[in-house]
Structure 1
């Protein structure tokens, strides 16, 4: 049986798991929209910068990105600046997951935006709108329906991938039950963690399925 102390520890680890995923999806969306707009812009400089960003963060492991911000950053700043800049573990997790999520979400946003008929942009410009006015008032609102399924998948992936923060000594849900298992030799703790992961991913799945059905009536 689980003790009260263990229950509180699991709840604290669960809270940290959801916090990292929540922060990552919020900042990932904000940065992802900017990167997507950069990538479809006519500026070669912005296009190149966005391509490089996506190439780096999609092409390297999430675990390595965590290591860079938590372990490598202090060494880099010490060598280059002569000052050791150490980022707290939770902050490093926020940064790494947000930047990684932004790379994937930017491609999702770009695909959704470019799937809208080009005539919509031409009609908006004919009405006197600027490029960005047309994008935020006409094009992006029409892409909501197409963004819902992949956005839900990205959030589910984030919730599961937060288990990687154990590598930088953060006690998330999985790391917490792993320590309990190591100290007691009981396997049952992993079932508690698995049940919680399934609960949260199922809630996300159901919520996004309902959103998809709600907005599908406008197509």
Structure 2
């Protein structure tokens, strides 16, 4: 029985990892786009991006999951496939938009944190704006954003458990199902071991990245 439950939990862990990876895949570049939009000199784009960030950061992720999943069907234009695929798709979209908004603030802080004199020095040397961004701003920005970005990404690991509110069969939902059906509590707490291992691997990875970026001191 122990091994059967463990295998089921591992299946839930695979779903959790899938949500995690897909969210990063879409939210990291989208966050950079939103960051540039929020810094744009075009007022409509500036206000639009800042308003979206304000709404997403000001409302619970759980509420956003429910809204993305059910509101399209309520208004009569359901955009999600039926079954598990539709719930997974809604989850990834909700998570990606949510974390893109948080990442955008980190990106913006990293970009604006690079001294203006650095960019001016690049212009004096005859560098184009593209060269200044990739060779001066971007490299220094990465060093600045790694610590806050690592915190958000580790938080994402734990936030994946919220997907259970729309019946996505992720790790926590898997453990909780045994408590409801069989009265077993230990599988639910056993999920904590998987989260700790997952977060531990990410922590080691980010510590390694920070050490590799020490040459920017």
**TM-score, normalised relative to structure 1:** 0.91
* 1:85 and 2:83 matched: no
Identify which of 199, 202, 205 aligns with 1:204. Answer: 202
Q: 1:113 aligns with which of 111, 114, 132?
A: 111
* Greater alpha carbon shift after TM alignment, 138-147 vs 37-46: 37-46
Q: Which residue of 2 aligns with 1:68?
A: 67
Instruction: Note the C-alpha offset of 1:90.
Output: 0.2
Matches within 5 A, 1:5-154: 6-76=5-75, 78=76, 83-87=77-81, 88-154=86-152
**Residue 129 of structure 1: how far off its partner (Å):** 4.2
In 1, Cα distance between the equivalents of 2:109 and 2:122? 20
Q: Which runs of 5+ in 2 are unaligned?
A: none
Cα 1:185–1:212 shift into 2, 3 Å: same
Change (3 A) 1:58 1:95: same
RMSD: 1.6
**Distance across 2 between alignment mates of 1:144 and 1:84:** 39
Q: How far apart, CA to CA, are the structure 1 residues paired with 2:196 and 2:7?
A: 19
Alpha-carbon contact 2:80-2:89 (below 8 Å) kept: no
**Against the structure 1 CA distance between its residues 13 and 147, is the aligned structure 2 distance closer, same or farther, given a 3 Å change threshold?**
same
Distance between the aligned counterparts of 1:123 and 1:11, measured in 2? 53
Q: Counterparts of 2:158 and 2:26 in 1: how far apart (Å)?
A: 18
Cα deviation, residue 190, structure 1:
2.0
Quick check: 1:69–1:92 contact (8 Å CA) kept in 2? yes
Unaligned runs of 5+ in 1: none
- Paired residue total: 213
